[in-house]
C-alpha cells in the first residue's frame, strides 16, 4: 500500500477545516489562529496543513469560498431593474443587508478583505 492510498483525503474533514477557517478568518483576518481552526474543525493542527499546505493557502481557500458563495447567490438584477441611480443605490443597499443576514460569515470575511486585511 503506498502512502497516498493510506492518507486519502477525507472530504468531510476538508470541509470542516474550511468552515472553521472561514469562521475564524472572518473574525480575525489573516491573524486567525490555526490552533483554533483545528480545534473547531475537530482535527489536529497537522491535518490543517496536510489538507491545505500552509496558512496562506487556507486563507485563500476560505476567501475564495466566501466570494463564491456570495456571487453564486447574488441576484444582479437588483441593479439592472432600478429606474434610476437613486433607486439603484437604495435597492442595492437593501439587498446588501439581505445578503449580509443570509451569509454573515462569508460577508464578514469579504468586507474584511476589502477594507483592511492585506495578506
Q: What is the pLDDT of residues 40-71, one digit of tens each?
A: 999 999 999 999 999 999 999 999 999 999 99
Sign of the CA dihedral with 95 first, then 77, 109, and 14 last: positive
Instruction: Please determine, for residue 30, whether its predicted confidence score (pLDDT) is greater than 90.
Output: yes
pTM: 0.84
Instruction: Give the closest residue to 75 by CA, choosing from 106, 98, 101.
Output: 98
Confidence of residue 13 (pLDDT cuts 50, 70, 90): very high
Average pLDDT for 77-82? 81
pLDDT of residue 6: 56
Which residues, other chains included, contact 14 with Cβ-Cβ below 8 Å and sequence gap of 6+? 51
Amino acid at each position: 500500500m503506498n502512502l497516498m492510498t493510506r492518507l486519502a483525503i477525507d472530504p468531510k474533514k476538508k470541509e470542516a477545516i474550511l468552515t472553521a477557517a472561514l469562521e475564524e478568518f472572518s473574525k480575525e483576518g489573516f491573524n486567525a489562529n490555526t490552533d483554533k481552526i483545528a480545534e473547531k474543525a475537530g482535527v489536529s493542527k497537522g491535518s490543517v496543513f496536510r489538507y491545505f499546505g500552509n496558512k496562506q493557502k487556507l486563507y485563500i481557500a476560505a476567501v475564495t469560498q466566501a466570494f463564491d458563495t456570495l456571487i453564486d447567490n447574488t441576484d444582479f438584477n437588483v441593479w439592472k431593474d432600478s429606474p434610476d441611480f437613486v433607486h439603484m443605490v437604495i435597492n442595492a443597499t437593501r439587498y446588501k443587508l439581505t445578503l449580509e443576514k443570509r451569509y454573515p460569515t462569508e460577508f464578514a470575511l469579504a468586507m474584511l478583505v476589502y477594507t483592511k486585511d492585506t495578506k
